[in-house]
Structure 1
Amino acid sequence: MSAVQDLPPLREALAAHGLMAKKSFGQHFLLDLNITRKIARLAEVGPGDVVIEVGPGPGGLTRALLETGAKVVAVEKDERFRALLEELVEASGGTMRLVLGDALEANEAELAGGGPAHIVSNLPYNVGTPLLIKWLTGPWTPASLTLMFQKEVADRIAAAPGTSAYGRLAVIAQATCEARVVMDVPARAFTPPPKIDSAVVRLLPRADRPAPKRLDALQAVTAAAFGQRRKMLRASLKALGGEPLAVAAGLDPQARAETVDVAGFLRLADAWTTLRQGRG
């Protein structure tokens, strides 16, 4: 059995299998092993750690993760990569498992084998945000997330209040995790190059992560507030309670959503929960 390091270079492997990136799947291949190795280092995974990777494609990041000694569960929707990834499974000596299917429907707790697992992925552009929301708000909490997004999305995840990028995604991400952009990746690093640059975001779940019901309330109030972000809270929150709701949360009813910090939105979620209980 050959080791991962003995496999042919990625470009040769892709050519041998006649594979190209598929636009409909939002695929852009990252073939530079220097970059994928840096992402693996930023993920801080090593021997014995379980890593779930979504959308491995030709396996560039997968190779770098396997080099760390981590156990990799690769979830790939595109059947075209089966043969190429199965070669990687064989070369891994039992440290890689391939799961063919849609990550949006996957049960991460089962993939992780019932224990903790890290998520490290160069996410397909067209499902990156829905997957992140699933991991942030679902019943299963990852040990860490090291994810590549389009730079614009990465900036929205880590944005501070009062900035144009600050919105619902920032509030949900930062209420559940410590989030920061740890690496910029230029478009030219990909094959084919996308039209915009990418960035890697590192998210570490908070010990005081909101309970599921509080998280549901947070999603409701952020959807309302940012759904009409140019309006004052008393108007954007009208359907949920309007000015009295904002006041109950200790917020200025004339403020706009983009100026309210994460703590303010959590108070708003709590106030809305109390208000609904009172009506019930």
Structure 2
Amino acid sequence: MAQIDDLPPLRDVIARHELSALKSLGQNFLLDLNLTARIARAGGPLADTLIVEVGPGPGGLTRALLAEGAGKVVAIERDRRCLAALAEIAAHYPGRLEVIEGDALEVDIGRIVAEQGGGKQARLVANLPYNVATPLLVGWLRAEPWPAWWASATLMFQREVAERIVATPDDDHYGRLGVLAGWRTEARILFDLAPSAFTPPPKVTSSVVRLIPRETPLAVDPDVLERVVAAAFGQRRKMLRQSLKGLGIDPATLLAAAGIEPTRRAEEIDVAGFVRLANALVAGKTKAP
């Protein structure tokens, strides 16, 4: 395994700091620096760019991002045990790594980027902790205002989650994530990582996904869109004239306003169709006495 910098091998770092991956934090350490370098390069041009990394752990991907030329990395880490290892990386790359101790679900990343990005968007590059990967992504997809604080997101998920993110109508994986990701981004799977690449090995294959924000996504209230999507896929095998009954408006009226046949099922409706349904729901509620 080629060294990407003059720092000690990650296995030595983990042993010296007595680190072990915690299942409760969704941790699986990626120790192969060749693989972390590949993920870093997939993040796009890094020079003079602010990178946001979530869940750096002992810093394998952090080191790769810095070695590949990232202007600055802001790494958000919840696990205090990893801070000493990350501090060693910060000392090796003076002024280019800032470590923020905290829960990424609660940290105002948009504010940090506004303060440190010089008016530019950041790039998200992260091996996300599996147990919070989906809520993190949903939050980033719903960011306001849009275009958001991130210019691209190169993120690692469990393969099943990755397939849901890039899914389109008539795909068995198509659902809430596919609609939200398709609404505001163009998403694709770049490559897979085998369980053997991690310590400890997870039970599933992992995938790196790249998401590029759409500058002008279709206009819709995100809360209403999620309500419609949740209702439709909550009973995905039923026709929409049945599954949408819980929205508080006659499904036939709603579907007619959106130009969708009542016998269609959720898995057959594209993003534009769900947006029309959400906007029709708002219009219908507004007109209701």
TM-score of the two chains, using structure 2 as the length reference: 0.92
Query: Any conservation in 2 of the 1:77–1:100 contact (CA below 8 Å)?
Result: yes
Question: Counterpart in 2 of 1:47?
Answer: 47
Question: Counterpart in 2 of 1:278?
Answer: 287
1:153 maps to 2:158? no
1:72 maps to 2:79? no
1:220 maps to 2:227? yes
Question: Counterpart in 2 of 1:88?
Answer: 89
The alignment partner of 2:163 has SS state of helix
1:37 maps to 2:37? yes
> Size of the alignment, in residue pairs?
276
Q: Cα offset for 1:93?
A: 1.4
Distance 1:163 1:48 in 2: 39
- Shift >6 Å, 4+ stretches: none
The sequence identity of aligned pairs, in percent, is: 53
After superposition, what is the alpha-carbon deviation per residue over 1:17-60, rounded to whole angstroms, capped at 9, x for unaligned?
11111111110001111111111111103111111100000111
Question: Counterpart in 1 of 2:63?
Answer: 63
Distance 2:144 2:92 in 1: 34
Letter paired with 2:62: T
Distance 1:9 1:54 in 2: 21
Q: Cα offset for 1:210?
A: 4.2
Letter paired with 2:26: G
The alignment partner of 1:105 has SS state of coil
The alignment partner of 1:15 has SS state of helix
Distance 1:210 1:6 in 2: 48
Query: Any conservation in 1 of the 2:218–2:272 contact (CA below 8 Å)?
Result: no
Distance 2:45 2:36 in 1: 13
Structure 1 runs not aligned, ≥5 long: none
Question: Counterpart in 2 of 1:257?
Answer: 266
Q: RMSD over aligned Cα, in angstroms?
A: 1.3
1:269 maps to 2:274? no
Query: Any conservation in 2 of the 1:75–1:99 contact (CA below 8 Å)?
Result: yes
Question: Counterpart in 1 of 2:186?
Answer: 178
Match for residue 195 of structure 1 among 172, 189, 203: 203
Letter paired with 1:163: D
1:111 maps to 2:112? yes
The alignment partner of 1:6 has SS state of coil
The alignment partner of 2:262 has SS state of coil
